[in-house]
Amino acid sequence: MVGVSEPGKLPTVKEVAQHAGVSPMTVSRTLAGGANVRPELQEKVLKAVRELGYYRNENARSLRPGQASGLIGVAITNLGNPYYGNFALGVEEAVAETGRRIVLGNTGGDPARERQLVADFLGRQVEGLVLVPSGGPSDHLQPERLGDVPLVLASRRIQGLDVDVVLLDDVGGAYRGTIALLDAGHTRIGYLGNVSSAFTGARRYEGYLRALQERGIRPDPALVLREQQDGGSASEATRRLLDLDEPPTALFSANNRNSIGALREIGRRLRSGARAADMPSLVSFDDFELAELMPVPVSVVDHDPRQLGREAARLLLTRLADRAGRVGPARLVEMPVNVAPPVPLA
Amino acid sequence: MVGVSEPGKLPTVKEVAQHAGVSPMTVSRTLAGGANVRPELQEKVLKAVRELGYYRNENARSLRPGQASGLIGVAITNLGNPYYGNFALGVEEAVAETGRRIVLGNTGGDPARERQLVADFLGRQVEGLVLVPSGGPSDHLQPERLGDVPLVLASRRIQGLDVDVVLLDDVGGAYRGTIALLDAGHTRIGYLGNVSSAFTGARRYEGYLRALQERGIRPDPALVLREQQDGGSASEATRRLLDLDEPPTALFSANNRNSIGALREIGRRLRSGARAADMPSLVSFDDFELAELMPVPVSVVDHDPRQLGREAARLLLTRLADRAGRVGPARLVEMPVNVAPPVPLA
DNA sequence: CTGTTAGCGCATTCAT
DNA sequence: ATGAATGCGCTAACAG
């Protein structure tokens, strides 16, 4: 039989051509849209493609000069975190709309791993890179090290790296969340933050401070704890705040992990007989499910990581669309956040 | 200057070779480990690589016969869902440990999109595929359509497709969760399930039934609602169950969405003055955060999607390791689940 | 130990 | 409208 492929090997244009009784070029042209190919030949080709189960080899294709790989490299810190999962989803969706795919790597926040991933992505001829930086040194991200492969950073900026960035409106969200507590009459507002994502942490703390200052309240250093990396340390930090002689009457939590930890500690105290009225109100930067079922009023500074991902992809894709885009100035996009009021308890 | 690359174009072996004053083969050999290359030449080459910012073109490399692409295609239904995010993370980690990368696509549960993704993956010469099936027709997944690219399915099986599969122990988990409620003295146990993930849904329902039968309790059809797709419809279903003349005293929820919805409805009733003692206990298949802060006792059937992903990758990688593996029989792995007792309320 | 030749799959250029 | 030749970047296989 003519043009039959070896078992266990994907067929090539050549085999399809043989099978259809045409030249490889006719196959190539047909698959490229069929310009300048007689319809009857096209049909023959498509039939052969179907029968042989042919898939065009995109790697070989991208080898030709001027042919893009159709791949976007995406490196994020923690895919398992719903925030980044949704971010990656947004990137994937926007990128898929242009027929491209993402190569995905998880850095786990390790700069060495990030380096490695970026190098690998470049070796795979990605057209662009989307990166949630791990925070280490960034020489490997300098434009000249990247060829002219465009890079978009998400969630944090890198000093001295002049590329497109998408961020949340961290400052504004923290500001408005804190203002909501002040409006409710609180004057002693504890701050739970983390140090690992220093950039985001700094911005959210800035919003908190700005709100206090605007209302003429001097921030009390004893109420600010910013070393928590996980729920456990956040619970511990909350315990310390609530054990103060003058405990805060409300807490601003700069992220999901701190909110969860704080609520765990609050729950513990309630189960030990504490009165709900003595527990602090909470504003949480980062939404979480069932906030309305919590034993204390929780309001959330809510945002849409999926939209953040779409926006990151959009920035990248515009640079890919035309060579002109490649040389434009770096852009900074801050995505809006929503401050939801607390659901009142019964 | 010799061997300097064009701006905006990644350098090639040829340029590195020129820069180092050697032949392309010496560069290739050096990068392949340096066997049969004089150390001093190797140094020259590595220096040129560093200076030029060279990355080996993996696409060109994989074009050579016998050279694998180092890519694994992964298609899942919803990256934004933490369950699948963690699953993808597990796959990525295990795959990265072998120096490979994943190309990731989100199907959104759409069979057409799944087809498209698989075709694209094959065109990119992936070495293997990991798939969370969308549930449509599966002719595009038949081995002969896949060349000899191995396929691993996760979370659900496909009728008539004889490939490796990783599943949760859905039946066992649902059985043990239900038994826990029976042990606590409940005899009227409502069932909240969904129909969309029919395969998983059927298995969990089977576990529920098995537990009831074992204890000689005839399942009451009025207590079984299996049409909920999201939290909203789950709340509504819970409302209907609790409004029955003889409402259930406990609920078994077959997944996260149903649990959230049920708890929202329970919360609503408590805020409207219902007594906590009149609210049902809940067993939730799928963990969620802060279960211990819920106003009714919640116990969870807990599992580790990340580990599920690692296992899927492991199955695939063993098939890649040696040609012998490619022809072995299809394997079925069921990952254990953990049934955690409810945290007692204050 | 090192270099030359050749070809992987595809599409651009140039003939016909 | 079709086909033949050529080369993309890389590395086996073969000189030397």
Mark yes or no for CB contact A290/B263 under 8 Å: yes
pLDDT score for A338: 95
Mark yes or no for CB contact A293/B293 under 8 Å: yes
Please state whether strand D lies within 7 Å of residue A37 at its CB atom.
yes
> A59 at the B interface (CB within 8 A)?
yes
Mark yes or no for CB contact B92/A71 under 8 Å: no
For the stretch A32-85, pLDDT in tens is 988 888 999 999 999 999 999 999 999 999 999 889 999 999 999 999 999 999
pLDDT score for A8: 65
> How many beta carbons lie within 10 A of that of residue A179, not counting itself?
19
For residues A284 and A178, give the distance between their C-alpha atoms in angstroms, rounded to a whole number: 10
Please state whether strand D lies within 7 Å of residue B14 at its CB atom.
yes
DSSP H or E stretch at residue B131? strand B128-131
For residues A95 and A142, give the distance between their C-alpha atoms in angstroms, rounded to a whole number: 23
Q: Greatest CA separation found in chain B?
A: 89
pLDDT score for B290: 84
Nearest Cα of chain A lies from the Cα of B214 at a distance, in angstroms, of 34
Mark yes or no for CB contact B79/A92 under 8 Å: yes
Of A60, A273, A290, the CB nearest to B290: A290
Residue B229: pLDDT band (50, 70, 90) is confident
Please state whether strand D lies within 7 Å of residue B13 at its CB atom.
yes
Mutate to test the interface with A, among B12, B16, B55, B282 (most CBs of A within 10 A): B55
Interface of B with A in 292-321 (CB under 8 A): 292-295, 306
pLDDT score for A1: 37
Which residues neighbour A313 within 8 Å (Cβ) at sequence distance 6 or greater? A72, A90, A91, A93, A94, A95, A130, A152
B288 and B281 in contact (C-beta within 8 Å)?
A: no
Nearest Cα of chain A lies from the Cα of B225 at a distance, in angstroms, of 22
Spatial distance from the CA of B61 to the C1' of D4 (Å) = 26
DSSP conformation class of B157? -
pLDDT score for A109: 92
pLDDT > 50? residue B6? yes
- Supply φ then ψ for residue A48, to 5 degrees: -60, -40
Q: What is the mean pLDDT of residues B287-308?
A: 90
A80 vs B contacts (CB less than 8 Å): 82, 85-86, 89, 306
Nearest nt by C1' to A29 Cα: C11
A112 vs B contacts (CB less than 8 Å): none
B80 vs A contacts (CB less than 8 Å): 82, 85-86, 89, 306
For the stretch B112-171, pLDDT in tens is 999 999 999 999 999 999 999 998 889 999 988 898 899 999 999 998 999 999 999 999
Q: Is B64 left (phi over 0), alpha (psi -120 to 50) or beta?
A: beta
Average pLDDT, chain B: 92
- Supply φ then ψ for residue B98, to 5 degrees: -100, 10
Mark yes or no for CB contact B122/A78 under 8 Å: no
Strand C nucleotides, any atom under 7 Å to a protein CB: 1-5, 7-13
Residue B49: pLDDT band (50, 70, 90) is very high
Which residues neighbour A27 within 8 Å (Cβ) at sequence distance 6 or greater? A13, A16, A17, A20, A45, A48, A49
Q: Which two tokens stand for residue A3?
A: 């043009």
Q: Considering Cα of B304, then B305, then B306, then B312, what sign does the dihedral take?
A: positive
Could you tell me which residue, A328 or A90, shows the higher pLDDT?
A90
Q: A280-294, B209-223, B306-320 — which is least confidently predicted?
A: A280-294
What is the spatial order of strands in the sheet that B224-225 belongs to?
A: B224-225, B189-192, B250-253, B281-285, B298-302, B338-339
Q: Which two tokens stand for residue A252?
A: 């601003």
B16 and B27 in contact (C-beta within 8 Å)?
A: yes
Residue B4: helix, strand or coil by DSSP? coil
pLDDT score for A7: 59
Number of residues that this document lists for chain B: 346
Please state whether strand D lies within 7 Å of residue A22 at its CB atom.
yes
Interface of B with A in 136-195 (CB under 8 A): 144-145, 147-148
For the stretch A94-113, pLDDT in tens is 999 999 999 999 999 999 99
pLDDT score for B346: 37
For residues B228 and B193, give the distance between their C-alpha atoms in angstroms, rounded to a whole number: 6
The residue assigned the tokens 């409502």 is B190
pLDDT > 80? residue B189? yes
Protein side of the strand C interface (CB < 7 A): A 12-14, 24-25, 28-29, 31-32, 56-57, 60-61, 63-64, 66-67; B 22-26, 29, 36-38, 41, 63-65
pLDDT > 80? residue B234? yes
Number of residues that this document lists for chain A: 346
Interface of B with A in 24-53 (CB under 8 A): 53
Domains and CATH numbers, chain B: 13-52 (1.10.260.40), 71-168+306-334 (3.40.50.2300), 170-302 (3.40.50.2300)
Residue B224: helix, strand or coil by DSSP? strand
Helices (H) and strands (E) in chain B, counts: 12, 12
Q: Is the pTM of this model over 0.85?
A: yes
> How many beta carbons lie within 10 A of that of residue B25, not counting itself?
11
For residues A142 and B53, give the distance between their C-alpha atoms in angstroms, rounded to a whole number: 11
Can you give the three-state secondary structure of chain A, one letter per residue?
Answer: CCCCCCCCCCCCHHHHHHHHCCCHHHHHHHHCCCCCCCHHHHHHHHHHHHHHCCCCCHHHHHHCCCCCCCEEEEEECCCCCHHHHHHHHHHHHHHHCCCCEEEEEECCCCHHHHHHHHHHHHHCCCCEEEECCCCCCCHHHCHHHHCCCCEEEECCCCCCCCCEEEEECHHHHHHHHHHHHHHCCCCCEEEECCCCCHHHHHHHHHHHHHHHHHCCCCCCHHHEECCCCCHHHHHHHHHHHHCCCCCCCEEEECCHHHHHHHHHHHHHHHHCCCCHHHCCEEEEECCCCCHHHCCCCEEEEECCHHHHHHHHHHHHHHHHHCHHHHCCCCCEEEECCEECCCCCCC
Average pLDDT, chain A: 92
Residue B189: helix, strand or coil by DSSP? strand
Q: Strands A189-192 and A164-168: what pairing?
A: unpaired
pLDDT score for A4: 47
Share of chain A above pLDDT 70, in %: 95
For residues A154 and B287, give the distance between their C-alpha atoms in angstroms, rounded to a whole number: 29
Residue B9: pLDDT band (50, 70, 90) is confident
For the stretch A267-325, pLDDT in tens is 999 989 999 899 999 999 988 888 888 888 899 999 999 999 999 999 999 999 877 66
| Ranges A133-137, A172-176, B62-66, most confident | A172-176
DSSP H or E stretch at residue B203? helix B198-214
Burial of A108 (0-12, 13-18, 19+ CB in 10 A): middle
pLDDT > 70? residue B244? yes
For residues B297 and B282, give the distance between their C-alpha atoms in angstroms, rounded to a whole number: 6
The residue assigned the tokens 């595009």 is B140
B7 vs A contacts (CB less than 8 Å): 148
CA neighbor of B165 nearest in space, from B315, B23, B341: B315
B60 vs A contacts (CB less than 8 Å): 59, 63
